């Protein structure tokens, strides 16, 4: 289960900001949206593409970024058509095929180990009444002169769209930054925080976003009929 979500996260390209940054700061309580979802910007310091709001962004994947205290962050939402697969099928099953207590650590492949992956874990989160599949992996980089770490989270949720039927909502969020006395190049004037503090800031930002997340054409009636709607279950961040 976690392998599918790791592939999603590793397929996303990290983009840093520079003096010719293509981004601008989000406005207070700015609505970030496309034709499928919308949410409010989670607070100060978050950035979005300067061209956001133009016609070409009608079908874009909502994404926000932030550089702060020596770390960089990104949160990306992708709503896409259903594609058959083991994990996607499980997201639309209402029996015991998905165990809510399924928190597991997967063996690290040689390829992942060579890329600096230190662990891979999976869990079952709930978002807006949807039962989802979550995955996380951690990576370390560098050596004596420079060392850095990243934590990469991804969540996939299945739901029914009133117009298109089965859909998958993928959420990827991560932080990246230097460890010890090292800092990301270009952020030398920033103060350092610990990776654990960066992780907490990222999780808090996602929680704020999920409070205002709205999925357009969400077919709650169909979800209830299929036994897939769980409004009593709230989102909880992992301990890692």
Report pLDDT digits (tens) over 216-227: 999 999 999 999
| Owning domain of residue 138 | 2-14+36-225
Spatial separation of the C-alpha atoms in residues 3 and 191, rounded to whole Å: 35
State the pLDDT at residue 9.
Answer: 44
Q: What is the mean pLDDT of the chain?
A: 84
Q: Say how many domains are in the chain.
A: 1
Angle 204-53-75 from CA coordinates, rounded to 5°? 25
Confidence of residue 114 (pLDDT cuts 50, 70, 90): low
Spatial separation of the C-alpha atoms in residues 197 and 155, rounded to whole Å: 21
Is 23 inside any structural domain? no
Mean pLDDT of 126-138: 95
Confidence of residue 84 (pLDDT cuts 50, 70, 90): very high
State the pLDDT at residue 6.
Answer: 42
State the pLDDT at residue 59.
Answer: 77
Is 202 inside any structural domain? yes
18 pLDDT above the threshold of 50: no
Supply the CATH number for residue 121's domain.
3.40.1000
Is 232 inside any structural domain? no
């Amino acid at each position: 289960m976690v392998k599918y979500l790791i592939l999603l996260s590793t397929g996303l390209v990290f983009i840093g900001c520079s003096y010719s940054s293509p981004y601008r700061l989000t406005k207070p309580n700015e609505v970030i949206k496309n034709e499928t979802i919308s949410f409010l910007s989670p607070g100060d310091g978050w950035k979005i593409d300067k061209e956001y709001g133009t016609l070409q962004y009608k079908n874009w994947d909502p994404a926000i970024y932030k550089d702060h205290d020596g770390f960089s962050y990104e949160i990306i939402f992708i709503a896409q058509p259903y594609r058959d697969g083991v994990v996607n099928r499980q997201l639309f099953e209402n029996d015991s095929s998905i165990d809510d207590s399924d928190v597991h650590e997967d063996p690290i492949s040689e390829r992942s180990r060579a890329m600096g992956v230190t662990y891979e874990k999976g869990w079952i989160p709930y978002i807006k009444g949807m039962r989802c599949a979550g995955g996380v992996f951690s990576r370390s980089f560098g050596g004596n002169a420079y060392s850095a770490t990243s934590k990469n989270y991804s969540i996939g949720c299945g739901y029914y769209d009133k117009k298109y039927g089965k859909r998958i909502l993928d959420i990827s969020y991560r932080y990246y930054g230097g460890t010890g006395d090292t800092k990301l190049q270009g952020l030398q004037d920033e103060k350092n925080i610990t990776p654990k503090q960066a992780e907490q800031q990222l999780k808090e930002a996602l929680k704020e976003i999920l409070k205002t997340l709205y999925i357009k054409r969400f077919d709650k009636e169909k979800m209830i009929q299929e036994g897939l709607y769980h409004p009593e279950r709230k989102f909880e961040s992992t301990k890692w």
